[in-house]
Copies of this chain bind each other. A is one copy, B any other.
Amino acid sequence: MGTPPSSNQGPGGPNAAAPAAGLSYRDAGVDIDAGNEAVERIKRLVATTRRPEQLSDLGGFAGLMGLPKGMAEPVLVSCTDGVGTKLLVAIAMDRHDTVGIDLVAMNVNDLLVTGAQPLLLLDYIAVGKLVPTQIEALVAGVVEGCRQSGCALLGGETAELPGLYAEGHYDLAAFAVGVVDRAKILGPARVLAGDVVLALRSSGLHSNGYSLARRALLEVGGLGLQQPLPGGDGESVGEAMLRPTTIYARAFAAIRDLPGAPLHAAAHITGGGLIDNPPRALPPGLAQRLDLAAVPRPAVLRAIAAQGVAEPEMLRTFNCGIGMLLYVERTRVDEVAAALAATGEPATVVGEVVVREPGMPEVLFAPL
């Protein structure tokens, strides 16, 4: 959790008695009081994410959530993801209040491409040694991400696992559930030749490719986390690498229910970059032409490429400045772009859907 769960708020529980004489759980490396302190710190934060459909508060064995009203045939959409080795950057920077945003983003952005509205999220925080202020910072990030997404932080688990994680290390995973009316599910079946591809900008690396990013910048490039990022606007290498992943919930909310459903599908540019993800939005028989020149590449990505990562490896590992691709009815592009811009998420035309001729790749990188 992070979140006073459900079955465990740390291995103790709110009314755990004082340790008995003899060999105890605390002797074995598990600190129940620290767990309870972390729970108290978290409760107020978590309460700010409450949704009207919610039936339970934290403390039960599981979280309960009703469904939004007015759906003809609600379909649950769910996914799970972690933050990957971006955590090692946060740990090295001793800055723990933003990776929770990344955690939510990685899950919620996956939900959004189905047309779902995010409903609830649960987090799993595993630590070598439980430090209440660190847990509070991690959960503060998760709560901020949930607020940006409009979903409730319904529960979670904080596990203190001495022996599995080094002291000071932790891992984060989250699970999100959204809901979509069956008739409104987005995806490949809706996409047509002639659809226009709109790009939403990424904020930087988002949460993918950090093993390569750290290798390129910190090892091969020999840069320190506190040094200014080469080609950047003054932020340090560490700050640039930690910049939170953009959450596109408000952008999708603005266009999801437009009459006539001009948004056909979307591709979250996550692990596998611009090679693996765009084809997941298209049906067999169609391909997409993408012109990346229209989207500026964030300085952190240019700095990585400058360390000898070739363009094909950049494309298959990083988002290259594009956090989300939207596949939109051609006649409605201006209207969709205007609705997106009104949410603060400017969209750029970067391509089009074409019939896939024999021998054509699924994604063709070429000027429009």
Interface residues of A (CB under 8 A from B): 1, 5-8, 10-17, 19-25, 27-30, 55, 59-67, 73-82, 84-85, 87-88, 106, 110-111, 113-114, 116, 119-120, 122-124, 126, 154-157, 159, 161-165, 169, 171, 173, 175, 177-178, 182, 185, 187, 208-209, 211-212, 214-216, 220, 267-268, 270-272, 275-277, 279-280, 307-313, 316-317, 362
Which residue, of A7, A27, A73, has the highest number of chain B Cβ atoms within 10 A?
A7
- Please name all residues of chain B whose beta carbon is closer than 8 Å to the beta carbon of A271 when the two chains form the complex: 7-8, 10-13
CB atoms of B171 and A275 under 8 A apart: no
Q: Which of B156, B272, B280, B307 contacts A11 (CB 8 A)?
A: B272
* Contacts A11-B317, A61-B79 supplied; 5 other A-B pairs, CB < 8 Å: A7-B271, A60-B114, A60-B280, A61-B268, A66-B76
Cross-chain contact A85 with B7 (CB below 8 angstroms): no
- A178 to B63 Cα, complex, angstroms: 10
Q: Is the CB of A317 within 8 A of B25?
A: yes
Query: 6 nearest interchain CB pairs?
Result: A13-B276, A175-B175, A13-B272, A62-B79, A20-B312, A8-B271
Q: Which of B8, B77, B270 sits near A272, CB closer than 8 Å?
A: B8
Contact A85 B182 (CB under 8 A): no
Residues on B with C-beta less than 8 A from A60 are: 114, 187, 280
Inter-chain contacts of A214 with B (CB < 8 A):
28
From A106, A211, A279, name the one whose CB has the most chain B CB atoms within 10 angstroms.
Answer: A211
Give the chain B neighbours of A165 by CB distance below 8 A.
Answer: 164-165, 171
Given A8-B272, A272-B13, A23:B155 Cβ within 8 A: no
Could you list some 23 contacts between A and B, CB below 8 A? A8-B270, A8-B271, A11-B84, A12-B272, A23-B215, A23-B310, A24-B309, A24-B313, A25-B317, A29-B215, A59-B280, A61-B79, A61-B113, A61-B114, A64-B76, A65-B77, A66-B182, A74-B74, A76-B177, A78-B154, A78-B155, A84-B161, A173-B173
Asked whether, in the complex, the Cβ of A124 is within 8 Å of the Cβ of B80, the reply is yes
Contact B308 A16 (CB under 8 A): no
Instruction: Tell me whether A28 and B212 are in contact in the complex, defined as CB-CB below 8 angstroms, given that A8-B272, A80-B122 are known contacts.
Output: yes
- CB neighbours of A212 from chain B (8 A): 23-25, 27-28, 30
Shortest Cβ distance from A123 into B: residue: B80
Q: In the docked arrangement, what's the CA distance between A12 and B316, Å?
A: 8
* CB-based nearest B residue for A83: B159
**Cross-chain contact B122 with A29 (CB below 8 angstroms):** no
Quick one: closest B residue to A275, CB to CB?
Answer: B17
Task: Give which listed residue, B16, B29, B317, contacts A276 with CB less than 8 A.
Answer: B16
Give Cα distance in the complex from A12 to B13, angstroms. Answer: 40
Chain B residues whose C-beta falls within 8 Å of the C-beta of A64 in the assembled complex: 75-77, 114, 185
Cα of A317 to Cα of B23 in the assembled complex, Å: 11
- Least CB distance from A120 to B in Å reads 6
**How many angstroms between the C-alpha atoms of A280 and B59 in the bound complex?**
8
Give which listed residue, B7, B173, B279, contacts A268 with CB less than 8 A: B7
Given contacts A80-B5, A124-B80, A175-B175, contact A17 B312 (CB under 8 A): yes
What is the CB-to-nearest-CB distance from A182 to chain B, in angstroms, rounded to a whole number? 7
Which B residue's beta carbon lies closest to that of A88? B163
